Amino acid sequence: MTARQNAGETRETAVRQDSDIAIVATAQLPAVRRQELTETEMLLMVVDEALDKVGLKRSDIGFSCQGSCDYISGGTFSFVPNLDAMGAWPPIHESHVEMDGAWAMYEAWVRLKHGDIDIAVAMGSGKSSTGDPAAMYPLELDPYYLAPLGLDPVSLAALQARQLIESGKTTERELAEIAARSRRDAAGNPNQQVRGAEQDVDKLLAEGYLRNPLRKSDLPPISDGACAVVLVRGPRAAELTERPAWITGLDHRSEVHNPALRDLTDSASTRIAGQRAGGVAGVEVAELMAPFTAQEVILRQSLGLAEDVVINPSGGALTGNPLMATGLVRIAAAADQILINGRSRTLGHATSGPALQQNLVCVLEGDTGAEGDPAAKGDNR
């Protein structure tokens, strides 16, 4: 079944309500291996850029929320200086989550639903380059049974990938194809870090394992970066931009922590979040936060995405992975498909925790034109 058929013939453009919330602008810094700017400077720049796109000032913002992580930033209370990126004087209404910026956006979305504020900004930032993720990530695991084993994220992803392969749900070739496709797409996206890398599937398969059954091409790079999105409530969204990316569904779910207690070939939390966010019918483009190739397969299957849904045209987390921003970058990329490329229905996904423990799904829609056709069709990026 294709996405179009899935959508059914009867789906009509919804009438936007005052209570609807849209993404009207996004901005990100290119993911790079080592960013010399401070996190505060990075955030300052992406907020500037996002606001400039729709002619807003910081004083127009009613609420802001940041997502970052002390351990990744390498300091206690590392988010406190980042407050300065908002120009918090006179004092502002804001919050911070020790989660990916996608969850900061969730808090901003919840806040806007109250109706007393029209404009919010959500941000995510991280500098993975400062510490060794392999040494650091065991710290997010069960502190008694798992952390002392030093189970690093690449090894964990390999345990997951093997079960996926051995269950018959994917093949090493399919994983290599995902890597190749992601690299091809990244080549055209200046925000991605892995550009110009090998894209020939047979050559990728000829490379040795880094963690059997995963090769280097199945892994994300270590990246620094930041992202910001501007959320606007009600008719104001349409005043600020021609084609707002309306958030028609947003949900996140967690599941059992210990990966050994889960079916690693499935993502139950993604499935629930996807359903609660309104389902995938009619979704044309999905930006899935799959830092490992096999996770893209799991996410696609769990969401039930049709074969013709374009996956990660941005190049995805496989080619740029600024942790604590990566998830928000996916949502921003899905929103840009509507804001810039004229798509009608897109999906952004973020994940957190070991082996896809926690997942967030955001479904976005653009208004169709008078003839019922999207205003424009851009390229895949």
Partner 1 sequence: MTHERVAVVGIGQTKHKKRRDDLSIAGLVREAAQRALDDARMTWSDIDAVVIGKAPDIFEGVMKPELYLSDALGGAGKPVFRVHTAGSVGGSTAIVASHLISSRVHKRVLAVAWEKQSEGNAQFGLGGGKSGSIGAGGAFAPWIRAYIQKSGAPEHIGWQVAVKDRQNALRNQYAHLQLKDISIDKVRESPMMWDPLHFLESCPSSDGAGAIVLTDEAGGDAAAADGRAPAWILGTSMRSEPSSFNGRDPIRPQAGIDCAWDVYRQAGITDPRRQIDVAELYVPFSWYEPMWLEGHDIAPVGEGWKMVDRGETAFDGDFPVNPSGGVLSSNPIGASGMLRFLEAALQVRGAAGEHQVDGAKVALAQAYGAAAQYFAMWAVGADKP
Partner 2 sequence: MTVSTQTVSTIQFPYKRTLGPVMGRFFSELTARRIVGIRSGERVIVPPMEYDPETGNELAHDFVEVGPAGTVRSWTWVAEPIESHPLDRPFAFVLVRLDGADTDLVHVLDAGSEDAVHTGMRVAPRWRDEPVGRIDDIVCFVPGEHADSPEGEPGEAQDVTTMEYFSKITYTDVLSPTLVRYANNLRAGRLTGQRCPQCNRVFLGRGYCSVDAILLGPELDEVLPDRGVVSNYTIITPTPYPGQKETEPFARASVVLEGDEMVIAQQQILDIPVSEIRVGMRVRAEWMPDAERDAAEITSKGWGTVAGFIKGWRHTGEPDEPAEQYMNRVF
Binding site for partner 1 (CB under 8 A): 18-19, 69-71, 75-77, 79-81, 83-84, 88-99, 103, 106-107, 110-111, 113-115, 136-137, 139-144, 147, 251-257, 268-269, 272, 352-354, 357-358
Q: Which of 146, 127, 99, 163 is nearest to 295 (CA)?
A: 163
Q: Which of 247, 266, 246 is nearest to 255 (CA)?
A: 266
The 3-class SS string of 152-194 reads CHHHHHHHHHHHHHHCCCCCHHHHHHHHHHHHHHHHCCCCCCC
Q: Any residues with CB less than 8 A from the CB of 18 and at least 6 apart, and which?
A: 115, 233, 234, 235
Name the residue with tokens 């009619």.
282
Residue 159 binds: one of partner 1, partner 2, none (C-beta under 5 to 8 A by kind)? partner 2
Residue 75 or residue 378: which is nearer to partner 2 going by CB? 75
Q: Which of 14, 206, 260, 376 binds partner 2 (CB under 8 A)?
A: 260
> Residue 39 CB, nearest distance to partner 1 (Å)?
15
Q: Which of 262, 302, 254, 299 is nearest to 99 (CA)?
A: 254
The C-alpha torsion from 141 through 144 and 148 to 150, rounded to 10°, is -20
Determine the angle formed by the axes of helices 293-303 and 153-166, rounding to 10 degrees: 60
Residue 136 or residue 311: which is nearer to partner 1 going by CB? 136
Residue 212 binds: one of partner 1, partner 2, none (C-beta under 5 to 8 A by kind)? partner 2
Binding mask 100-129 for partner 2 (x = CB under 8 A): ---------------------------x-x
Q: Say whether residue 49 binds partner 2 (CB under 8 A).
A: no
Residue 5 binds: one of partner 1, partner 2, none (C-beta under 5 to 8 A by kind)? none
Part in contact with partner 2 (CB under 8 A); list of ranges 20-28, 40-48, 95-103, 114-122: 40-48
* Tally of CB atoms within 10 A around 198: 15
Residue 111 or residue 343: which is nearer to partner 1 going by CB? 111
> Residue 112 CB, nearest distance to partner 1 (Å)?
8
* Count of chain residues binding partner 2 (CB under 8 A): 64
Part in contact with partner 2 (CB under 8 A); list of ranges 10-18, 176-184, 255-263, 269-277: 255-263
Question: For 29, left (φ over 0), alpha (ψ -120 to 50), or beta?
Answer: beta
d(CA 42, CA 291): 22
d(CA 37, CA 43): 10
Are 328 and 317 in contact by the 8 Å Cβ rule? The answer is no
> Residue 119 CB, nearest distance to partner 2 (Å)?
16
Q: Provide the binding-site residues for partner 2, judged by CB under 8 A.
A: 34-41, 44-45, 47, 58, 71, 73-75, 78, 81, 84-89, 127, 129-132, 134-136, 138-139, 143-152, 155-156, 158-160, 162-163, 166, 209, 211-214, 256-261, 264
